[in-house]
Amino acid sequence: MTRLPGAASLAAMIAARSPEIAAVDLARCDRCGLCLPLCPPAAIRLGSVDLLIDAGACTGCRKCIAPCPVGALRMGLRA
């Protein structure tokens, strides 16, 4: 019997296809946390001194890019 993929693996499949993911310019980022609740897969975390984006979880949806108050988030090629 073929099993349908679950939501998590579907997200991973979409993520794997996106050539671009979000990247943070730490020189601009103020670590305000505004982008965290905008991120559907919760791929962004506040570290103790920086902002961390989980490249494996980011789906490249761009929802975090425009709202950043200081323009610290950009799309970049998946490494």
Binding positions for another protein, rule: CB under 8 A: 30, 32-40, 42, 45-46, 48, 63, 66-71
Q: Which C-beta is closer to another protein: that of 13 or that of 42?
A: 42
Instruction: CB nearer to another protein: give 31 or 78.
Output: 31
User: Strands 51-53, 44-46: parallel, antiparallel or unpaired by DSSP?
Assistant: antiparallel
Cα-Cα-Cα-Cα torsion 58, 59, 62, 64, nearest 10 degrees, comes to -30
**CB of residue 51 to another protein, shortest distance in Å:** 10
Nearer to another protein, 21 or 35 (CB): 35
